[in-house]
Amino acid sequence: MANEAETMLEVGLAAAVADGRSDERELARLREVARSTGVGESALAGSTASLPADLGSRLSSDGARRAAYELALAVCGADGAINEAEERFLAGLRGMLGLSEEAVASLHRDARAIATASVPAPVEPATPRTEAGGDDLDALILGQAKLTAALELLPQSLATMAIIPLQMRMVYGIGQAHGQALDADQVQDLLGALGIGVAAQVVDGVARKIVGGVFEGVLGRLLGGLAGGVAGAASGAATSFATTYALGQAAKQYYAQGRRLGTEDLRALFARLKDDAVKLYPQVQSQIESQAKGLDLTQILRAVGKA
């Protein structure tokens, strides 16, 4: 099982660079995933995806091959609609794994709906609300943090993909509340400035679900150290809650100050806010678990506006 888990992660890492557009910050986080889980970094060589020639034989069961493909699909769609380079990568991966297009058609349908539901088209800035950083935005941020945590508890691996568009829409809404006209690139720039790698976040979340306890506690530490020794989906929920909560609160302060915070100040603020989330999470954990029981993939798609 450990060897299969490592192979799946290698597939995920290769998918992360399949489009050749990963910047050095993202590659650094992905290399951290590779080192921390004992997976070789050959999949990240240069800026193109590389898969082992014996991939099919490494993944002996139908379930393992499908899980590896699901991970790659989620990572390719992490930053939006899958492009031509990623389509070629996925087609080659299907061939290596012996999967037909029909066998994974439903996965592609769900992934496409989630990946294209990122941020609404920019509109004219709303009139800035002097109290935009008050109770309404705090309620929005806490609600989205709990929702993204609940997604991590669902059995469907692709549910983790919905976390990115939910985070992006949250930031978009916060910016609008402060009179900022934003687009998807600007929102992603803020995530990058805070050290939230889109592909690394999806590799972390989906791999944790697929791999389970094989790398217990390791993946949870990669996105901020909250998870500690907690295994599997529980660590994913804790990490996603902390990341989303801190992102929302940082965005609120950033836009309230007219985007004048520099990268170092933003990251220091983000780190402090994640510490706050660590203290808050136990207070809302039972609410998150209850919320997860009432979620399914259809509801997730509706939540990101594409059901």
Tens digits of per-residue pLDDT, 146-174? 999 998 888 776 777 778 888 888 898 89
Same domain, 289 and 151: yes
Tens digits of per-residue pLDDT, 179-189? 887 777 788 78
The more confidently predicted of residues 116 and 138 is: 138
**The pLDDT value given to residue 48:** 54
Q: Is there a domain that residue 20 lies in? A: yes
Q: Is there a domain that residue 127 lies in? A: no
The more confidently predicted of residues 32 and 37 is: 32
Q: Residue 104's domain spans which residues? A: 2-115
Query: Which of 115, 143, 175 is where one domain is finished?
Result: 115
Query: Which of 115, 150, 172 is where one domain is finished?
Result: 115
Same domain, 139 and 284: yes
Indicate whether 218 pLDDT > 60.
no
The more confidently predicted of residues 243 and 302 is: 243
Say which residue the tokens 């597939």 belong to: 11
**The pLDDT value given to residue 126:** 45
Please state the domain count of the chain.
2
**The pLDDT value given to residue 119:** 53
Q: How many residues does the chain have?
A: 307
If one counts every other C-beta atom within 10 angstroms of the C-beta of residue 114, the result is 26
Same domain, 154 and 104: no
State how far the Cα of 295 lies from the Cα of 162, in Å rounded to an integer: 12
- DSSP single-letter state for residue 160: G
Task: pLDDT band for 282, please (50, 70, 90 cuts).
Answer: very high
Q: Is there a domain that residue 184 lies in? A: yes
Q: Is there a domain that residue 239 lies in? A: yes
In a 13 Å sphere around the CA of 254, the CA atoms on its Cβ side amount to 31
Q: What is the dihedral of CA 153, 159, 164, 170, to 10 degrees?
A: -70
- Report H helices in 153-231: 163-177, 184-193, 198-211, 218-222
Find out whether 8 and 68 touch, Cβ atoms under 8 Å. Answer: yes
Same domain, 88 and 197: no
Q: Residues 135-144: what's their mean pLDDT?
A: 90
Q: Is there a domain that residue 130 lies in? A: no
Same domain, 146 and 101: no
**The pLDDT value given to residue 49:** 60
Q: Which helix (H) or strand (E) holds 288?
A: helix 263-293
**The pLDDT value given to residue 120:** 52
Q: Which of 195, 161, 184, 167 is nearest to 23 (CA)?
A: 195
The more confidently predicted of residues 40 and 154 is: 154
Indicate whether 50 pLDDT > 50.
yes
Same domain, 271 and 159: yes
Task: pLDDT band for 224, please (50, 70, 90 cuts).
Answer: very low
**The pLDDT value given to residue 166:** 85
Same domain, 108 and 195: no
Ranges 5-9, 171-175, 235-239, most confident: 171-175
Task: pLDDT band for 214, please (50, 70, 90 cuts).
Answer: very low
Task: pLDDT band for 277, please (50, 70, 90 cuts).
Answer: very high
Find out whether 122 and 183 touch, Cβ atoms under 8 Å. Answer: yes
Q: Is there a domain that residue 123 lies in? A: no
Same domain, 160 and 60: no
Q: Give burial (CB, 10 Å; 0-12/13-18/19+) of 282.
A: exposed
Q: Is there a domain that residue 125 lies in? A: no
Tens digits of per-residue pLDDT, 51-109? 878 888 888 788 888 888 988 888 787 766 788 888 999 999 999 999 999 988 988 88
Q: Give burial (CB, 10 Å; 0-12/13-18/19+) of 140.
A: middle
Same domain, 106 and 250: no
Q: Which of 59, 27, 62 is nearest to 45 (CA)?
A: 27
Cα dist. 281→101, 106, 113, 266 in Å? Answer: 41, 34, 30, 22
State how far the Cα of 78 lies from the Cα of 203, in Å rounded to an integer: 9
Same domain, 77 and 217: no
Query: Which of 49, 81, 115 is where one domain is finished?
Result: 115
Same domain, 100 and 144: no
Indicate whether 227 pLDDT > 50.
no
Q: Is there a domain that residue 129 lies in? A: no
Same domain, 236 and 166: yes
